Structures are given as structure tokens and as C-alpha cells.
Structure 1
Amino acid sequence: MDQGIAGLLGAALGGAIGVAGTLGAARLTGRDQRRGQHEHWRRTERRGAYSHLLSKVSEAMRVGGKALDAYEDELPEAGALIGQFDEMVHTLDEAESLVALEGPESAEAAAMELVGAVYQFSNVLVLTHAVDEGEYIPSLHEPPLGSTSLWDAKGKAYEASDAFIRLCRRLLDE
């Protein structure tokens, strides 16, 4: 074989290998970039769902704290504040559903725990107020209602909120 032809074949083969390598590297880089963009998008969606729930819980707990203070101080606006708190709590399901959708399951479970604790605080406050107003008579099998149960329920709601925040921070850092 002529040296010129051998050189041309070698150059062509080397060029083909170079092109194939470049295309392969570009494909891998593109795949890695898409994966990174998808992970960033998922993190952003999760962060949005987590912060939406926390924002709604914070608003509700602020009103719940005012309602509890008004109730304990026997202020005339206590009933209205308790009603407002109860209504706000019933809107938390939508925000909880977003966390369930975005996941992961640990966030869904923590969101359920948080919303459940806020519901419990609201229920204890509504029932305690209703007992005082003569609108509700608890059965003998129900735990006693009063200041202690109110503060316990409020404390558990804040504990669940803190646990949800810690979990979300850890999940978003992964």
C-alpha cells in the first residue's frame, strides 16, 4: 500500500474516532445537564410546596395564638377569633396535598403530622370555648378540656412545625 494512501486512511480513521468521541462527550454532557436541571426544578417545586404549607400554618398559628389569648382573657372577640382560626385551619389541606404530591414520603408524613397537630389545637380551642358557652357537653370518656389542654395542643403544633422545618432543610440539602 502506498504511503500516501495509508496516511489518508489513518487521518480519516483518526478523524472519525475524534468526531465519535466528541459526539459521545457532548451527549453525556447534555444528559448530565438535563439531569441537573431536572433535579434543580424538583428541588424548587418541593421548596415551594414546603414553604407554602409553612406559610399557611404560620398564619393560622398567629391567629390561633391571638384567639387563645383572647379566650383566656375572656375578651368579647374570642369567639370570632376562634372561628377565624378554625376556618384557616381547614384551608391547610390544600397545602398539605402539595407536599404529598412533591414528596418524598417522609415530607408527606411530617406534613400530615403538622396539619394534624394544628387541627388538634383548633379542635381543643373550639370545644373548650363551646363548653364554656354551654354549647357543648363533653362525655365522661373525653379528656378534660381547659387551659392545660389548650397550651399542650398549641405546644404540640409548634413542635410538629419545628420537626417539619428540620426535615425540609435536610431534604433540600440532599
Structure 2
Amino acid sequence: MKITSATTNPLAGSFAPVIVYPLWHVGHQNEAGDDGSTLHVDASGVFCDESDGDDLKLLGIYSTLERVEERVRQARSLPGFRDEPDCFHFDARELDEDDWTEGFVRVPPGGPGTCTELALGPKNRMNGKNGRLGPMDSGLAALLGAAVGSATTLGAAIVNGRAQARSQHAQWSRQHRRDAYAGYLGALHDRDIAMDAVLDALRSEHPDLPDIDEKIGRFITLAREVHRACEVVILEGPAPLVEVAERVTNASADLSHVMRRMAENAHAGNTARKAEDIALAAEHERSLYLAVKDFRLAARSTIGKSN
């Protein structure tokens, strides 16, 4: 197809990267568990092995994390999706950025017997009537034909291939979790700097109210970024790390409550509780620091780093 100016992407050539978020759901039917049971989520995240029966669905590609979160909430009320509510996965993708940069080889489904049949069976030979090949091309048929009589070797290759696929999946999942955790910690860092600026201004004997209001505005903006980043952590999991993130959220809320009261009292000229609130804010700052520290350690453990 010849591309004309009418079909040209107007964003092409833009210096700013365009980020989108593909959202997937995995319907599980694999037998990847140690006892042949179905594996839904492992230490690396949502498990998927399409060669073992898992069904991967693309729900959509979204422009913001908020739309991803809303789509997940909607899908969790629908048949099928509601049965596996924790099996959603999404990641950030940059438009016009190459993702698969290498070639590929075909691996036939099934066990050794099935592979031999596919390689040599009549369904895959040249059809004399129409001269077309079946599902496998002649080169691959010849390649598998050379393996006839080596069922044990072929079976081992399939097992090793599955193990390699699981290893690649684990590495892929760890990378996405690492990005999610780093994004959350970075958002916390920026927000907490803004929060410290507000508290420092409120501790002043003669607070500058317009300056305080400006600093509070910046804090609110960055707090929203923390909320968005935390939603990504919740979706990526795992559950124990999400629990630590909830402790960070609760500690943040406690400190924000004291800060808001101090700001309201500053505007009202009420200093009756100022000393008490300054001490309480310091206590909550310490609790928040420890919660963030625990999250950082838990994140390192989850993605396999040594502490």
C-alpha cells in the first residue's frame, strides 16, 4: 500500500515520545504448576504460556494510566474476567519504537508424536491439486524429519524450550515491576520534597500565607502523581508488596492531615495547637520515612536484588 499524505501520522517527527498503554488479560488453562495444576501468578507476576493453553487477550491500548485503571475496573465485572481478576497486565510502550528486534523460529505444538505427524503427515505434504503447502513449510518439515527416531531428544528440547520461555517471561515481568517500583519511589521522593517545603513554611513564626498556598498547590500536583504511580504498583503486585505500599499511603495520609490542619490554622491566625502539631508532624514524618524504607527493601526482594 502506498502511503499518501492523507494517511501520514501527524505526530511523526515529533520530538516528544508518544507513550501508550496496551492492556492484556490472561485466561489460564496451563498445567505449569509443580503438581500439574494451573499457574495464574508466580513470583514474577502474571504467568502466561500460550503453548500450554493460556489465552492472551488484548483489551485495548490506552493513552493514560487512568483509562487503563477504569478499563480494568469495568472488565472485572464481566464474565470470564471476573473469574481471574488479578490476571491483567499492562506496560508502557513508545510509538514507533522497535520492540521485537530479532527473527523467530516456529516450534510445533504438542508432544514428540504430534511433532512427527505434523512434519511427515499427509496434511503437510504438497497438495497435488492446488500446489500449496499445508501449515508447515517444506524447510521446517525437512528439519523435523531429521529428528525422526530421536523422540527423547525432541521431548527434551520441548521441555527446555518451555523452561526458557518461563525464564524469559520472568525476566520480562521483573523488568516491568522494576519500572513500576522505581516510578513509585521517584514520585514519592518528589512529593516528599514538596511536603517538606510546606511544613518548613508552616513552622515559621510568621508564615507567608501566599507562599504556603503556592507550595501546597505544588504538593497536591505531585501527590496525584504518587497516586497514579501507586495504582501501577497495585496492578503489578505482588500482594505482600502492595500491603507495604498501603502502609506508605496510610503514613502519607496521617502526615497530610496534620499539614492541612496547620495550614488552616495559619490562615485563621490560630496558634493554639501549633507546637503540638509541629511535634505530631515530626512523628508522622518518621513513620512515613520508615514505611518508604520498608517498601524499598520489599521491592528489592521482589525483583531479586540483594539488600
TM-score range with shorter-chain normalisation? 0.7 to 0.9
**Structure 1: how far apart are the matches of 2:224 and 2:252?**
10
Residue among 270, 295, 305 paired with 1:164: 295
Residue among 155, 166, 174 paired with 1:43: 174
Q: CA RMSD in A?
A: 2.2
Structure 1 equivalent of residue 246 of structure 2? 112
Structure 2 equivalent of residue 94 of structure 1? 228
**Structure 2: how far apart are the matches of 1:62 and 1:101?**
26
Give the alignment's TM-score, normalised by structure 2: 0.46
**Structure 1: how far apart are the matches of 2:152 and 2:266?**
79
Residue 55 (1) aligns with residue 186 (2): yes
The structure showing larger relative contact order (alpha-carbon pairs under 8 Å, at least 6 residues apart) is 1
Secondary structure, aligned partner of 1:91: helix
Secondary structure, aligned partner of 1:173: coil
CA deviation string 1:40-73 (max 9, x = no partner): 1111111111111111010000111122112213
Pair member with larger Rg: 1
**Structure 1: how far apart are the matches of 2:276 and 2:225?**
25
Residue among 282, 286, 299 paired with 1:155: 286
Structure 1 68/59 Cα, relative in aligned 2: closer, same or farther at 3 Å?
same
Structure with bigger strand share is 2
Structure 2: unaligned runs, 5 residues or longer: 1-146
Structure 1 38/108 Cα, relative in aligned 2: closer, same or farther at 3 Å?
same
Q: CA offset at residue 92 of structure 1?
A: 2.0
CA deviation string 1:64-93 (max 9, x = no partner): 112211221344222321332133223322
Structure 1 equivalent of residue 219 of structure 2? 85
**Structure 1: how far apart are the matches of 2:299 and 2:280?**
28
> Which runs of structure 1 show a deviation greater than 6 angstroms over 4 or more consecutive aligned residues?
none
Structure with bigger helix share is 1
Tell whether the 8 Å contact from 2:202 to 2:262 is kept in structure 1 after alignment. no
Identity of aligned residues (%): 26
Give the alignment's TM-score, normalised by structure 1: 0.78
